[in-house]
Amino acid sequence: MAFEIKVLDKRGDDPEKPGDAKPAAAGDGKIQILGDDLVEDRYHRLRLIKWWDQELLAKTTVIVAGAGALGNEAIKNLALLGVGRLIVLDMDGIETSNLTRSVLFRQHDVGRQKAEVACERAQELNPDTVAIPIQGDLRYSLGLGVVRRSAVVLGCLDNIAARVYLSRHAYRLGKPSIDAGLDTVNGDVYTFTPPESACYECRLKDADRKEFRRRQSCLKLSRSEVDFGGKVPTAPTTAAIASGIQSQIAVRLIHGLRIPAGRRLGLYGMSDVFFDYEISISEDCPAHGWLECLEGQKVHETPLSAETNTLDDLLKSIRKRLGSGAILSLDGDRELIIGLSCAPCDQKREVLAMAGDLTEDEARCPGCDEPMAPDLRSQFDGSEGLGHKTLAELGLPALHIIKGVCAEGEREELFELTGDLSKFF
């Protein structure tokens, strides 16, 4: 079937009657449109962009960390563009003050979890998009297997500590991350492609790093009195601009187009001045200094799940490949507190918590009221008496990737809790 458009010599000419229309012949100066050219789906206007690949976007997974003002905008943008899967992380509930800055939230949502509501609204905007919430501290709740299967990580967070932890997740898997930030009516966007380019920690000043270290005591207990980040006043207009740039860079990255890697783009809202400058890799960056990038290393997919399988199950799987003396190593990932003690008071207490998740107040000795010393472990061989504990109880998130090390330490391999795959994919 063909449709004909007649090119008129001047305005006002009477069109031919429908019955007089004839198929256009080649070279007669008329435009011919075939039926296949008339596409009227949701993404019609997007497909008109020459380099646009809607099918590619539909197969893509993007992580959005933070579902506040910036996260709302990013989630909205990516859903409208038809990104196939969004993994949304946030640990907070919706407050009334969020309603002036968050396009996805409504008055009746106050009290509900941000991640859950944002995902619901994303799927209302576009049923083609699958949006999955993760509620909790991203330090412990984001499995590296999720990062491994994602194209890019978007940081829409409101404090330095959370940004550092997210940056380290992306760094470990060699995934690009795009971080957006707000300050009143100012906004900026950082694009990182580790380990070749700078990472988020490279841009931190000495004062920022000092404040970050203050978040944990020398005992690796968190200090609840530290207000790390605070409440920064922001405007929805700047959130829309910053996240619009962030989302656009992400879409170009997914398509393999040029992106401003290792650069900071921003806006001074009071003067409407945009800026752009390069960020260099810092010689004293902690991530570039000691964090191992796992990109390119083989990952063994196991049927294990964090919720249902135990440490004994994981050790059995590791030893099947690496030998009977192999151990589980969480070095560079996380540490587990398996007990507390106070030598002066001869006090001991059993506890099971992630280092940094237990506060000084929660670890105080009943005798002297001083923080007790934690028994920290990052390697496990089964002798700790925790073999019956599920991997989730030991602080491993769903679809996480961990390292098995043989007894001599000369061989190590990566293992994924792939039994959790259906939770996200």
pLDDT for the residue 220: 78
The rounded distance, in Å, linking the Cα atoms of 202 and 179 is 13
pLDDT tens per residue, range 166-184: 999 999 999 999 999 999 9
Confidence band of 36 (pLDDT split at 50, 70, 90)? low
pLDDT tens per residue, range 206-236: 888 777 776 666 667 777 544 444 567 888 9
The stretch 366-375 carries a mean pLDDT of 93
Confidence band of 401 (pLDDT split at 50, 70, 90)? very high
Beta carbons within 8 Å of 27's beta carbon, 6+ residues apart: none
pLDDT at 143 over 50: yes
More confident residue, 209 or 110: 110
Take residue 1 and report the two structure tokens written for it: 């079937």
**Average pLDDT across the chain, whole number:** 89
Confidence band of 9 (pLDDT split at 50, 70, 90)? very low
In 3D, which of 110, 116, 104 has the Cα closest to residue 236? 104
How many Å separate Cα 269 from the centre of its chain?
27
Note the CATH architecture for domain 54-290: 3-Layer(aba) Sandwich (3.40)
Considering the entire predicted model, what is its pTM? 0.87
Confidence band of 289 (pLDDT split at 50, 70, 90)? confident
Phi, psi for residue 377 in degrees, rounded to 5: -135, 135
pLDDT tens per residue, range 325-355: 999 999 889 999 999 999 999 999 999 999 9
pLDDT for the residue 75: 98
pLDDT for the residue 249: 98
Q: What percent of the chain has pLDDT over 70?
A: 87
Take residue 86 and report the two structure tokens written for it: 């969004």
pLDDT at 69 over 70: yes
Furthest CA-CA distance within the chain: 103
Residue type, 409: G
Q: Where along the chain do its domains lie?
A: 2-38, 54-290, 299-423
